[in-house]
A and B are shown apart, each in its own frame.
Chain A
Amino acid sequence: MIELKNVDKTYNPGRPNAVYALRRVSLHIEEGEMVGVIGPSGAGKSTLLHVLGCIDRFDSGSYLLDGREVSQLGDREYSRLRNREIGIVLQDFGLIEEFSVLENVMTPLFFTPGMRGKARRKRALETLNQVGIGNLASRSVTALSGGQKQRVAIARALVNHPRLLLADEPTGALDQKTSAEIMALLHALSEQGHTLVVITHDPAVAAVCDRLYYIQDGTLRDGSAADMARPVVASPAPAQEAPPAAE
């Protein structure tokens, strides 16, 4: 499903303030796997997510998504991948406040060619029901609890039936009980065949992942539960190198 080989990503290349965010990163994720990425803040987790989510381009190396070399794709194809193949869940939910719950979930469908009004609504409602909040469709997102907001964010990520779901600290802003509910939902999605990559600091989240990767100073390696015990803030030197607002 996903194959990264020797991927490098540098911010401000060639300048004194150059930041080496990813250094020869390689990983392999099979379809249907639920993989966790752990590591201290500023280690490159977000950059990795940007690259995997086709939000940002990388400098060198190879990224195969379903056998296609992503680096060779143009802007249009990149957007198509973000729209159809990849769903992204953000830590702060990333919801549009002036939109209703339904409109937030419909957002990716606005950019899906051939998807008309009625079909959009139908698909969005189905997805809201899938994550258990179909009854909130007409509500304003500002009136929702944290757990409900995260479900809306997950529904938005799922609405175009992507095969790859990327979640950045999906439980970071939630209490323990709600976190458990969200993780149960993500785990259920994984069992339904979705491929999940979850960035987390939360041992409970890491515990439900099939595999873990650990990233530090832009270098990725296989991780384990023991890595969760490491400091969540990167060591001083690499932290200064990391992109200022990367995490």
Chain B
Amino acid sequence: MTFLYLGLRMFRRNLALNVIVILQIIVALLLTNLLVGQYNLASDTLRQTAGFDADATYYYMPDATMDTTGERIEAAAALLAQHEGEYLAEQAVQVFLESTEGKDPMTYAYGPETIAHLDATLGAGVWLDEAQTAAGRIPCVTVGPYRVGEVLTFTLTDGKPLALDENGEPIARPGVQLEFEVVGTLQDTAYILTMNGMSNDPRLDEILELSIYEEEGTPILLCRQADLAQYRQQVDFSFDPADNALMYFPEGRTAASEALVASLSEHTWVTPLSEARARTQEERSKTIQTLLPVILALLFIGLVALVCLTLLNTMRSLRTYALYYICGMRWGDHRKICLGYVVCLLLGAAVLIGPVMYLLGEMLSLGELIFGWNNLAFSAGIVALAALVPLVGPALLMRRETPLDYLNESW
């Protein structure tokens, strides 16, 4: 503590310059975390889809044809109907659940292939393929305020706009009350497979959609289509088989599957998942290539400033060190004072980084990033560099100096 206090006194000597260095450290930390957070975003989509056979899985999306007549979509549907049994096409079916209290969740029901291959980013609990619940309860994985084991009651409806009676009063939708049991929760900022991509060359982050519960406040509920199938007779939530979907070929990539994909491509947009993955990887690399030089330059400037400032402070403090020496300090302990000084800088950065992040949070879209262990590792690396590199200069300087050189000024 003594050396930290003496380091603080050294820190107070050049307060204005030290604050500038603190800001540099903060900027370097922020930008690095921004880059790593961006990298994590792309990596999350790649990781979630790693279990799919990327070469034999295709994503198709009739909406992207922008065909207002619907003819081409119908042709696609006819083609798919003609080849039924040769492939599996699964959608992220959006179903409508109404809550008696709180917000209605955004709900997606997945097919078995999707559930089997998707590696969702679980925060707690288990994924849908391992779910076991009491009879009558539908297992679900959620994003939102729910906890594993919680039982939720919602009304399944067709989601159509409310009809009005002759008096203009809304007529209640037909619905079935269902009990869901939360078997797993995703992280608050997570990619959800929604298959809502709208471009003809989608990246994975268009097939999966980023959900930020803290910002949006809408809970998300994921469940199995099979668990809802029995209610289809009561509530119409059927979907168009030619709508956005992932197409799987159980036999893998064959001549027949390629022929079907080629035929389907004449009527709709078809993208092999491998291409979407490649685009995502390319985008990730591009982000790194763009931001990394800026971050390295800032880090370098920050470190040079820190080294110079520590050296300057040490040179200005040599007489003080000599006085500490006659008071009982060991000459080599100047390193501890320097370290105390650097710790003060880092503590200053730690104290300021919260408010700075809060102020810049919106501007830098920090909420839209995924922070992981690598953020911690890189931040720790920068902090370690900022703590250790500035000690080298004073250590080299002090090797040539003795306390007598500075006491002799008066003696």
Contacts and interface: CB of A to CB of B under 8 A. Distances in A.
The answer to whether A and B assemble together is yes
Interface of A: 46, 49-50, 53, 55-56, 75-76, 79-80, 82-84, 88, 90-92, 94-96, 98-99, 107-108, 110-112, 156, 160, 168, 243, 245-247
Contacts of B324: 107, 110-111
Given A46-B411, A246-B408, A83 B12 contact: no
Contact of B411 (A108, A112, A246): A246
A100 B208 CA distance: 63
B12 A98 contact: yes
Interface string B1-16: 0100110010011000
29 contacts: A46-B411, A50-B404, A55-B325, A55-B403, A56-B404, A75-B330, A75-B331, A76-B330, A82-B326, A82-B327, A88-B326, A90-B410, A90-B411, A91-B411, A98-B9, A98-B13, A107-B323, A107-B324, A108-B328, A110-B6, A110-B324, A111-B2, A111-B327, A111-B328, A111-B329, A112-B328, A245-B405, A245-B411, A246-B411
Nearest to A159: B327
Nearest to A156: B327
B320 interface: yes
Nearest to A160: B328
Contact of B407 (A79, A80, A90, A111): A90
A23 B2 CA distance: 40
Give chain B's interface residue range (CB within 8 Å of chain A). Answer: 20 to 34
Interface in B1-47: 2, 5-6, 9, 12-13
Contacts of B332: 75
Given A49-B411, A90-B411, A246-B408, A84 B328 contact: yes
Nearest to A93: B410
Interface of B: 2, 5-6, 9, 12-13, 320, 323-332, 403-405, 407-411
Contact of A55 (B13, B320, B326): B326
Contacts of B325: 55, 79, 82
A110 B410 contact: no
Nearest to A50: B404
B408 A46 contact: yes
Choose among A94, A95, A246 the residue with the greatest number of B CB atoms under 10 Å from its CB: A94
Nearest to B320: A96
A107 B327 contact: yes
Given A80-B328, A110-B2, A99 B408 contact: no
Contact of B328 (A49, A83, A95, A245): A83
A82 B328 contact: yes
A37 B325 CA distance: 23
Given A75-B330, A80-B328, A111-B329, A168 B411 contact: yes
The residue in B328, B331, B403, B405 that gathers the most chain A C-beta atoms within 10 A of its C-beta is B328
Nearest to A245: B408
Contacts of A94: 323, 326, 407, 410
Nearest to B328: A83
A74 to B, nearest CB: 10
A94 B12 CA distance: 20
A91 B12 CA distance: 28
A55 B9 contact: no
Contacts of B2: 110-111
A135 to B, nearest CB: 24
Contacts of A84: 328
B410 A108 contact: no
Contacts of A80: 328
Contacts of B410: 90-92, 94, 168
Contacts of B12: 98
Contacts of B407: 55, 90, 94
A112 B2 CA distance: 10
Contacts of A168: 410-411
B207 to A, nearest CB: 61
A1 to B, nearest CB: 20
Nearest to A99: B9
B19 to A, nearest CB: 18
A96 B328 contact: no
Rank and list the top 3 A-B pairs by shortest CB-CB distance, nearest first.
Answer: A83-B328, A92-B410, A111-B328
Contact of B5 (A82, A95, A110, A245): A110
B327 A83 contact: yes
Could you say which of B327, B329, B403, B405 has the most chain A C-beta atoms within 10 Å of its C-beta?
B327
A58 B8 CA distance: 35
Contacts of B326: 53, 55, 82, 88, 90, 94
Contacts of A246: 408, 411
A79 B13 contact: no
A142 to B, nearest CB: 14
Contacts of B403: 55
A162 to B, nearest CB: 10
Nearest to A83: B328
Nearest to B405: A245
Given A75-B330, A82-B326, A111-B2, 20 more contacts: A46-B408, A50-B404, A75-B331, A79-B329, A79-B330, A83-B327, A90-B326, A90-B407, A90-B410, A90-B411, A98-B13, A107-B327, A108-B327, A108-B328, A110-B6, A110-B327, A110-B329, A111-B324, A245-B409, A246-B408
A246 B404 CA distance: 9
A215 B293 CA distance: 66
A216 B223 CA distance: 98
